[in-house]
Structure 1
Amino acid sequence: MTQSVPTFAELLATARHSAVHLEMRDTYHGQDSGGFAEYLRSGYANTDIASAHWTRWGDMVAEAAGRGVALRRARIVSQPVTDYIRYEHALTQANVALGEQVRWLPRRLASDLALPGNDYWLFDDERVLFNHFTGDGAWADPRLTHVDDPAVVKLCADAFEAVWDRAVDHADFTV
């Protein structure tokens, strides 16, 4: 069910207790603003949360965390990992510093889990925001679909918790 879609910022701003994100792709570089190319050239990933690169995200996360919203992100990844996942792994220390909890699950350990077909954010176990991408990781249209159907919400909540329970904390996951 596609409807007038609230923005991610609007959904996070109204979250009361939780915002969880499940990522299942091995590349997102189609949406990257140049950081990935720099990483490939130099090995540098901007993890300075005071930099302009992190300002918008950092402000949203700090505001939500300040209201007591728990932010958790789980990533299912193929191994060996892609260069893009290596880049994401390098960036993740900034996500953690901003207040997110992040875990990684090797794809081979997710084979028996029921997972939705797209990445998503789940807010307060009530609202799902699906992210749609093309094969190369660029945003697809429609970019976002907001769903508050109880069966879809339950699928996403159960999938996230199943992944979270099996996944390895970022501090312990190597690429």
Structure 2
Amino acid sequence: MSFPDRLRETERTAFHLEMRDSYTPTDPTYLAWKRGEQPDFQAVFQPWADLVREATSRGVTMRRARIVSEPVTDYIKFEHATTTMNLDAGEEVRWLPRRRASDIALPGNDFWILDGQLVRFGHFSGDGEVLGEEWTEEPVVAGLCAAAFVAVWERAIPHEDFKV
């Protein structure tokens, strides 16, 4: 089952923790933004925005936390510049400088945790290309991810207050 299908089955919460400083470096939208162009972000992100609106209209709380190095990379600047679309769709987004995460037990990979039980790990190459995903409902793993997300969320800075 695909991630969108699983999100459509989510009833209460969908939390996402991102811990990389670069993703998909060959993404055409990112590369255009990096060249100083103004891509049609709305068109690119519309499918995601529609999915988020669908989930939040059912009462699902969607939160995204990003642990980032400082100074931030160009890719993080790109994410920061486009995060208003996440917010407009209904996601809450916070940022945590990596130096403030040193005492938090974190899984080795970015993850989504749906309804506190179903975990989707994202696997990436060293330069940020997508390699695949892995799903688990192992209670110990879900507990680690849930605790990590809560710890990060409590310390993280709301998007509107985080400056890049």
1:97 partnered with 2:88: yes
Correspondence 1:70-149 to 2 at 5 A: 70-140=61-131, 143-149=132-138
Consecutive aligned runs of 4 or more in structure 1 exceeding 3 Å deviation: 43-47
Q: What's the counterpart of residue 154 of structure 2?
A: 165
Deviation at 1:56, TM superposition (A): 1.1
Give the structure 2 partner of residue 174 of structure 1: 163
Structure 1: runs of 5 or more not aligned: 1-5
Aligned-residue CA RMSD (Å) = 1.2
Contact kept, 8 Å, 2:24 with 2:130, in 1: the verdict is no
Alignment TM-score, normalising by the size of structure 1: 0.90
Relative to 1, partners in 2 of residues 1:18 and 1:161: Cα closer, same or farther, differing over 3 Å? same
Residues of 2 paired with 1:121 and 1:14: CA distance? 14
Corresponding residue for residue 144 of structure 2: 155
Shift of 1:29: 2.6
> Residues 46 and 24 of structure 1: is their aligned pair in 2 closer, same or farther, counting only changes over 3 Å?
farther
Aligned partner letter, 2:82: L
Distance in 2 separating the partners of 1:111 and 1:29: 26
Q: Residue deviations 1:31-88, cap 9 Å, x none?
A: 62x11111111163655xxx32122111111110110001000000000000000000
Amino-acid identity (%): 50
Secondary structure at the residue paired with 2:35?
helix
Question: Which of the numbers 64, 69, 73 marks the counterpart of 2:55?
Answer: 64
Which ranges in structure 2 are unaligned for 5 or more consecutive residues?
Answer: none
In 2, are the aligned partners of 1:45 and 1:87 still within 8 Å (CA)? no
- Equivalent of residue 16 in structure 1, options 11, 16, 28: 11
Query: Aligned partners of 1:157, 1:121: CA distance in 2, in Å?
Result: 10
Q: Answer whether contact 2:49 2:85 (CA < 8 A) is retained.
A: no
Match of 1:54 among 45, 51, 74: 45
TM-score by length of 2: 0.96
Letter in 2 for 1:66: S
2: CA distance between counterparts of 1:106 and 1:45?
28
